């Protein structure tokens, strides 16, 4: 179970064996990286991190210092003040509570529904299974922009504008989640365990509860994190339904900071920093698992 979930360690496990192969055969995954490879990687890492670090630098300056040449390269002393003002201006406290709630409910529901559906597709036999799975994969191809207009009409009719359920409801379903859990359970859950539970007289629900959920827990955690990140960063739909800025998600609140005629850039950067920080923290802590999860979802994709 664990080996399938951590391809990164899985790859290193194989290395001693690979090393013994003849030198000519070592290309493609076994050759030691040269200095050039490290140089490229370091360069890309700087490129990846620089905008993030610079957000923090800009957020720690005052607005005038940003309008000078050369631009600031090191931290100033205004960070606490800017964070404080941005927090209050953008209604970020409420936005954080809202976004955490939205992302938590969405991620939780997606994980639960994807696990039971993925289990059915992976392990149960029923009529129309293959056709249904094809439909699930097909739905991944439908762009969300096609549905926003009727969804907006629905929300308007229900008088849900500016309310969180308008954001949550359309994000409760994820074809990727079903696909991801199916791939995981096909290999992580031996048929014998399910049969054994059946022989003991367990109903399908008991099998799900006592066999599938424990077996799927690592994949559920990864899927949960991926979906949390995705919902947290969702922009288009919340931007359309949460129009009044009285009840924003973090992305809507941060985007609203850039408006106005003479925007204070360091304040905007402080807001952007606050909006990004929670997820960067999640990445700092669970980065390895998230990387593993994305790679695992990719191999069989």
Partner 1 sequence: MATRHDTAAPLAKEGGAAPARPEVVRTTDERRRARMSRRWQRDMRWSPYAFVSPFFLLFVAFGLFPLIYTGWASLHTVELTAPTDMKWAGLHNYTRIFDDDFFWNAAKNTLTMGIISTVPQLAMAMGLAHILNYKLRASTFFRVVMLAPYATSIAAASLVFVLLFGRDYGMINWALHFVGGGHIDWQNDKWPSQIAVSSIVVWRWTGYNALIYLAAMQAVPQDLYESAALDGANRWQQFFHVTLPQLRPTILFTCVVSTIGASQLFGEPLMFDANKGASGGAEHQFQTLGLYLYEQGWVNQHLGRASAIAWTMFLILIVIGIVNYVISRRLRESS
Q: Is 21 in the site for partner 1 (CB under 8 A)?
A: yes
Residue 158 C-alpha from the chain's centroid: 29
Write the DSSP symbol of residue 72.
Answer: P
Least distance to partner 1, CB of residue 119, Å: 6
Q: Contact letters (x/-) for partner 1, 215-234, by CB under 8 A? A: --------------x--xx-
- Residues between 160 and 179 with contacts to partner 1, criterion CB under 8 A: 169-170, 172-173, 175, 178
192 versus 199: smaller Cβ distance to partner 1: 199
Least distance to partner 1, CB of residue 211, Å: 14
Least distance to partner 1, CB of residue 190, Å: 19
SS3 36: helix
- Residues between 71 and 130 with contacts to partner 1, criterion CB under 8 A: 71, 113-114, 116-117, 119-121, 124-126, 129
Q: Which two tokens stand for residue 257?
A: 């900071």
Least distance to partner 1, CB of residue 189, Å: 14
Q: Is 186 in the site for partner 1 (CB under 8 A)?
A: no
Radius of gyration of the chain from its Cα atoms, rounded to whole angstroms:
24
How buried is 3 (Cβ within 10 angstroms: 0-12 exposed, 13-18 middle, 19+ buried)? exposed
For residues 153-188, one letter each, b for 16 or more C-beta atoms within 10 angstroms of the residue's C-beta and e for the rest, the string is eebeeeeeebebebbbbbbeebbbbbbbbbbbbeeb
- Residues between 277 and 296 with contacts to partner 1, criterion CB under 8 A: 279-280, 282-283, 287-288, 290-291, 294-296
Write the DSSP symbol of residue 209.
Answer: I
Size of the site for partner 1 (CB under 8 A): 114
48 versus 77: smaller Cβ distance to partner 1: 48
Q: Is 251 in the site for partner 1 (CB under 8 A)?
A: yes
Q: Is 196 in the site for partner 1 (CB under 8 A)?
A: no
Tokens 């990164």 belong to which residue? 8
Nearest to 251 by CA among 98, 117, 125: 98
Do 231 and 106 touch, CB atoms closer than 8 A?
yes
Q: Is 32 in the site for partner 1 (CB under 8 A)?
A: yes
Q: Is 134 in the site for partner 1 (CB under 8 A)?
A: no
């Amino acid at each position: 179970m664990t080996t399938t979930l951590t391809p990164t360690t899985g790859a290193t496990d194989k290395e001693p064996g690979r090393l013994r192969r003849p030198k000519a055969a070592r290309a493609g995954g076994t050759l030691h990286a040269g200095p050039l490879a490290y140089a490229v990687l370091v360069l890309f890492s700087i490129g990846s991190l620089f905008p993030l670090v610079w957000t923090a630098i800009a957020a720690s300056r005052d607005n005038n210092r940003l309008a000078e040449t050369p631009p600031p390269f090191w931290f100033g002393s205004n960070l606490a003040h800017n964070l404080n003002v941005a927090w209050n201006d953008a209604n970020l406290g409420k936005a954080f509570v809202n976004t955490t709630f939205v992302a938590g409910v969405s991620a939780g529901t997606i994980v639960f529904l994807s696990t039971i559906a993925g289990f059915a597709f992976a392990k149960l036999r029923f009529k129309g299974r293959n056709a249904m799975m094809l439909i699930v994969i097909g739905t991944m191809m439908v762009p969300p922009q096609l549905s926003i207009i009727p969804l907006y009409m629905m929300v308007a009719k229900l008088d849900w504008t500016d309310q969180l359920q308008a954001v949550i409801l359309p994000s409760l379903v994820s074809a990727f989640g079903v696909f991801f859990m199916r791939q995981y359970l096909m290999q992580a859950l031996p048929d014998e365990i399910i049969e054994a539970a059946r022989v003991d007289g367990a109903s399908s629900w008991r099998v799900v509860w006592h066999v599938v959920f424990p077996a799927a827990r690592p994949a559920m955690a990864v899927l949960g994190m991926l979906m949390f990140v995705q919902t947290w960063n969702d922009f288009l739909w919340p931007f359309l339904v949460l129009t009044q800025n009285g009840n924003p998600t973090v992305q809507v609140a941060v985007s609203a900071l850039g408006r106005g005629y003479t925007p204070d850039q360091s304040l905007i950067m402080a807001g952007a920093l606050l909006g990004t920080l929670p997820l960067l923290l999640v990445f700092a802590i669970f980065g390895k698992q998230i990387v593993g999860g994305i790679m695992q979802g990719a191999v069989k994709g």
